[in-house]
Structure 1
C-alpha cells in the first residue's frame, strides 16, 4: 500500500506519522501500568501483613478488589467513553488513578487500603477501553493498526507478569506504599502529553446509555465473586449461597435487559460464535492460572524460602521473559500450524508447569518454582495473544468494539478470580492444617501473620511454629497447583475440540 500526500481524495487510508506513534507510546505506558498494578502487590503482601495486620479475607480483598472493580465496569466505561469522548475519559481516569494511588500508599488500616483499591479499579476501568478505542481511531492503515493493537496487547499481557519484578525492586529500596506511588510519574506524563499527541474521538451516534444494564452488570459480578471467594475459604454457608443466588439473578436480568434494549451495553449475539466464546473462555482461564501462581508463588519465595523481595522478583524473571517470548512467538507459530492446535498445546504447556509445582517443598525448591513458572509463563503468553486475536477476528467489523470489551473483561476477571479462587484454596488448606495443631489459630490465619507472631517467640518455639506454618502453606500450594493443572488441561482439550477445524 502506497502513501498518498496532498489534498486529493484517495482510497488509501492515511498512514500514521511520528506524532501518532508517540501517542501510542503514551497509551502503551498507561496500559502497562494498569496491568502491572493488578499484580505488583503480590510481593508486598508480607510487608502489608506486618504493618496493617489484615485478616486472611482482607488480604485477598486488598489484592483482587481492584481487578473486580475493573472487570465489572469495563463495558460501562467503554460506552461512557463513546458518549463523552475517549480522550476526555482517559484524562479523567488518569487523574483519578493518581489520587487513589496516593490514598493507597498512605493507608493506615486494611479498610482504607481496600477502599483505595476500589477507587483505583474504578479509575482503571476508564483507562483500558479508552486506550483501545483511541488506538483504533488513530491508526487508519490496517497494517499499522494491527501493529498498534499488538503493542497494546503485549503491554496488557506482559504487565501482569512484570508486576512482581517492579514490586521487588521497589520493596528492596522503599516501603510498601512505593508500589502505588510509582504510578504518579506515568500518569502525570499521560495528563500532559495526551492532549498534544492524541486526538479526541467519540461515537457520533452512541445511542441511549443503559444505566439499568450498567447497575445490573455490577450486581451480577460482585455477589458471585464474593460467594466463590468465601465458599472456597470457609466452605458453603447460607449467606454465601444467598449472595451467589443474587448474582445469578442479576446476571439473568442483565442478559434479558441486553436482549430487549435497542442500545445494549454488550452484544450477546457474539457468544453464539463458537470461535468467539471458546477464545473468551480460554483467555479468562489462562489469566486465571497466571494470577494464581503469581499470588501464592510470591508468598512461597518470601515467606517459605525466606528470600528478599528483589530476589523473589528476579526468580520470577524467567517466567516473565517466557511470557513475553511466548506472545511474540504466537504469530509465527500460527503461520505454520493450525491455530487450534497451537492454542491447545500452549495451554497444555502451562498445565505441565502448574503440575511441576507439586514438587515444591518447604525446605527448598527455588529451581523447581522457576522451572514450573517458566512453563506457565510461556504457555499463557502464547494463549493470551492467540485468544485476543481470535476474539477480535471472530466479530464482524461493526461489532469489534463490543468484542474488545469482552476480551478486556475476561482478562481482568481472570486476574481477580485467579487470586480469589486459588488464593482461597491455599488459605483453606493452610488453615485446616494449622487448626489441627493450634485450635485457637490466634494470629496464625495467614502465613504472613504467623511469621510476624514467630518473631516474638523464643528461638525454639519460633522455629517449630515456622516449620509447621511453612509445611501447611506448601500443602495449600500443592492443592492450588493441582487444581490449576487440571483446569488448564481440561481447557486445552476443550479448545482443541472446538477449534480443531
Structure 2
C-alpha cells in the first residue's frame, strides 16, 4: 500500500472533518425517534407513512452501500465523499422545510442516497490518512466509536432541539456541518482509489434495492391496513426478486454481495450480530420514544434526558471495547453483547401504561453495554474471519448489516407493533398519536389505545429479545475458542493508490 505524505497535524484535521460527517450520518438513523410525535402533529402522516419517514433513510443506505463502495473504488473515494455530502445537505434542506409526509419521505431518501456514499468512502480515506499502523488502528477505532455515538445521541439531540425549536430543526443542524466539510475537504483530504477496481453489476444493485423495498412495503401495508391481494402480490414479487438476486450472485465473477463468505461460521455470527443488534436497538428506540411521550405523557425534553444514561453507557462501552477484549477476549466479548442486549430488552416487557420510566432507563443502560460491544466488534470480527483478499467485501457486508438492521427493526418490528395496535385499539385512527389527538376522545377510548400500543410494544420487544438471546446461544456453539489475538497494528488489507 502506498500512502500520501500528509503531516500528522493535517491528517488529524482531515480525520476530524470526516468524523463530523460520519457522526451526522449515524445520528440521522435515530434522530427522529423522539421527534415523531411532533411530526405526526404537524403534517399528519398515516401509520405507514410514519414508518417510512423513520426508516427510508436506512433502507436506501443499506441497499446502495456496497454498490457505492465499489463505485468509489473505481472513480475515487473523495469524489464520492464530496458528492455524497452535497446530496446529504440537499436532502436535509428538503426535510427541514417539508410540508407533507411525501416530501419528507422523499427528502429522507435523498439523505440516504448521500449517506450510502459517505460511510465506505469515509473509512477508506481515514485508513489512508495514517501510514503508521498503530495510528491507523487508533483512527479506525475512533471512527467506529463516532458512528456508534452518533446512533446513541441521535434521540437525545433530537429531543433537546425539539424542546426549543420546531421539528425541522433536527435536519437543519446538518447544513452547517455539510457546508464546512465541502469547503475544507478538498484542501485536507487526498483522493483514494483501489489499484484494481472491480466492475459493479448494475442489475444486482437494482435487484437488491427493489426487492428489499417491495418486501418491506408489503409488511408495512399488512400491518397498517390489513391483508389484501395487492399487498400479498407485492410481497411475493419482492421475495422473488431477492431470490433472483441471490442466485445471480453465485453466477458472477465479481458479485455485488460475496455470499460465499457466509460459509464461515464466525463471519456469519458477526454479520448476524450486526444485523440483530441494530434491529433491536432501532425498534426499541423508536417505540420507546412514542411510549415515553404519548403513553406516559413526558415532554420531549424529559424523554431526551431519560435517554441520556443509556446513550452515555453505549458510547463508553464502544470506546472501552478494546480494553474489555484485552481482558476477556473477543469471543467472550461478542457473546456477552447478545446477553446484555437481550436482558436489557426483557426489562421493557414489564412496562405499563401508568409507569415504566425507571424500567426504560435500566433497560437502555444494560442493553447499552451490549450495543457498545457489538457496534465495535462486528466489522473487525467479520474482516478477521476471512482471507485478506476478501477483507473489503467482508467489511462492506458488515457495514450493510448495521444499516439494514436499523431499517428492518423499525419496519418489521414497528409493523408488528402497528398490527397489534390496529387489532386491539379503538379503531379511531391508525397510530396512537393520531388517536389521542382526535377531538372529543373519551378517557376510556384513550386508555384502550394506550393499552393496545403497550401490547404491541411488548410483542415487538419480545421478538427482538428472543432473536438476540437465540443468537447468543448460537454464538456460544459456533465461535471457536481463541488465543488472545491482537488486531492493532495488523497490516493493511487494502491495496490503494493515491492521486
> Taking structure 1 as the reference length, what is the TM-score of the superposition?
0.91
1:446 aligns with: 431
| Distance in 1 separating the partners of 2:198 and 2:402 | 27
* 1:376-391 correspondence runs (5 A): 376-391=367-382
Check 1:407–1:11 CA distance in 2 against 1; reply closer, same or farther (3 A cut): closer
1:78 aligns with: 69
SS of 2:213's equivalent in the other structure is: helix
SS of 1:260's equivalent in the other structure is: coil
| 8 Å Cα contact 2:65/2:400 also seen in 1 | yes
2:22 aligns with: 31
| Distance in 1 separating the partners of 2:356 and 2:258 | 47
| Distance in 2 separating the partners of 1:203 and 1:13 | 14
Matched, 1:426 2:417: yes
| Distance in 1 separating the partners of 2:476 and 2:143 | 27
| Distance in 2 separating the partners of 1:216 and 1:365 | 43
C-alpha displacement of 1:14? 7.3
* 1:146-157 correspondence runs (5 A): 146-157=137-148
1:472 aligns with: 452
| 8 Å Cα contact 1:283/1:384 also seen in 2 | yes
Match of 2:358 among 355, 362, 367: 367
| Distance in 2 separating the partners of 1:498 and 1:316 | 34
1:185 aligns with: 176
| 8 Å Cα contact 1:223/1:247 also seen in 2 | yes
- Name whichever of 262-271 and 24-33 sits farther off: 262-271
1:96 aligns with: 87
Match of 2:115 among 109, 117, 124: 124
Once the two structures are superposed, residues 115-155 of structure 1 have per-residue CA deviations (whole angstroms, 9 ceiling, x without a partner) of 11111111111111110121222223221111111111112
* 1:271-290 correspondence runs (5 A): 271-290=262-281
Q: Count the aligned residue pairs.
A: 481
| Distance in 1 separating the partners of 2:253 and 2:357 | 55
| Distance in 2 separating the partners of 1:344 and 1:323 | 17
> Taking structure 2 as the reference length, what is the TM-score of the superposition?
0.92
Matched, 1:409 2:400: yes
2:133 aligns with: 142
Check 1:103–1:277 CA distance in 2 against 1; reply closer, same or farther (3 A cut): same
- Name whichever of 34-43 and 15-24 sits farther off: 15-24
Matched, 1:306 2:286: no
| Distance in 2 separating the partners of 1:386 and 1:262 | 30
C-alpha displacement of 1:462? 4.2
C-alpha displacement of 1:100? 1.0
| Distance in 2 separating the partners of 1:464 and 1:210 | 56
- Name whichever of 380-389 and 194-203 sits farther off: 380-389
Once the two structures are superposed, residues 90-123 of structure 1 have per-residue CA deviations (whole angstroms, 9 ceiling, x without a partner) of 1111111111111111111111111111111111
SS of 1:202's equivalent in the other structure is: strand
SS of 2:194's equivalent in the other structure is: coil
Matched, 1:67 2:58: yes
| 8 Å Cα contact 1:133/1:401 also seen in 2 | no
| Distance in 2 separating the partners of 1:471 and 1:207 | 53
SS of 2:34's equivalent in the other structure is: helix
C-alpha displacement of 1:17? 0.8
C-alpha displacement of 1:271? 1.9
SS of 2:256's equivalent in the other structure is: coil
| Distance in 1 separating the partners of 2:295 and 2:198 | 54
Give the structure, 1 or 2, with the largest relative contact order (CA under 8 Å, sep 6 or more): 2
